[in-house]
Amino acid sequence: MYLLERINAMVKEQGKAVGDSIVNVDTLLNHRIDYTFSAYAGAMLARFVRDTRVDVILTAEASGISVAVFTAMTVNNDQWPHPASVVFAKKSRPITLPEGGYYVVDSFSRTKNKPVQLYMGKHVVRPGDKVFIVDDFLAKGATLAALGDLVEMAGGEIIAFGVVLEKTFEQGRDELKRFAAPIASLVKITSLEGGEIHLAPPSLS
């Protein structure tokens, strides 16, 4: 899979280890967005759910948005006649979400190192919607689990989780087991030992 290999190579080339637990990809995804990287990632994540109907691709504000959009663009070119919508949960409640018109869950931001809340309007994910949850990172799993809780509160069905980078040594998949949904990660970071990013061989799983 050329795209998967290229995604991993780009992380090795541009990513930086910050201590033993943080990966900085701010020239690819988290600050300056390399749209080719997001496009490659979106294409690979869409491949993971190509045999399943997708109504909504859900992510969290803000770093997952570009990948979610490219995933939707690729999914929409597949066999299903209805285009998938992109929804991003907000980290603060805007005045356009009236009291009683939203779901809210608690989460924790690793990069900001503080608790956060995620808000989602009750009108953007409908009961029965098939939802593909996409984000930039899987570390401890707090953000993805919070997104999963929002889907369940809305009555949607989680068809899969997809992430660009997974820090496998933080075992975040354990936090997602309760959703009984398949998980795909494109870049599997096994350690940051010695100030270097160590990767597992590329695989779409």
Pick from 125, 106, 104, 119: which is nearest to 58 by CA?
A: 125
Phi, psi of 45 (to 5 degrees): -65, -40
Q: Three-state DSSP class for 14?
A: helix
Residue range 76-87, pLDDT digits in tens: 655 556 689 999
Calculate what percentage of the chain has a pLDDT beyond 90: 88
User: If residue 188 lies in a helix (H) or strand (E), which one and from where to where?
Assistant: strand 183-191
Instruction: State residue 83's pLDDT score.
Output: 83
pLDDT of 113 reads 80
- Global pTM? 0.95
Distance CA(107)–CA(101), nearest Å, equals: 20
What is the average pLDDT across 127-144?
Answer: 97
Give the model's pLDDT for residue 81: 64
Which domains, ranges and CATH numbers included, belong to the chain?
Answer: 2-199 (3.40.50.2020)
Query: Which of 70-74, 80-84, 107-111, 125-129 shows the lowest per-residue confidence on average (mean pLDDT)?
Result: 80-84
- 3-state DSSP helix/strand/coil percent for the chain, to nearest 5? 30, 30, 40
What is the chain's Cα-based Rg?
A: 16
Q: Nearest to residue 186, comparing CAs of 48, 52, 14, 36? A: 48
Q: How far is CA 48 from CA 4, 39, 76, 80, 183, in A?
A: 12, 15, 14, 15, 9
φ and ψ at residue 145, rounded to 5 degrees: -65, -40
Q: What is residue 55's predicted lDDT score, i.e. its pLDDT?
A: 94
Write phi, then psi, for 186 (nearest 5 degrees).
-90, -35
157-167/130-138 β-pairing: parallel
Residues pairing with 15 in the sheet? none
Q: Determine the average pLDDT of the residues in 161-168.
A: 99
How far are the Cα atoms of 106, 141, 159 from residue 180, in angstroms, in the given order?
21, 14, 9
**pLDDT tens, 5-34?**
999 999 999 999 999 999 999 999 999 999
pLDDT digits (tens, 9 = 90+) for 28-60: 999 999 999 999 999 999 999 998 999 999 999
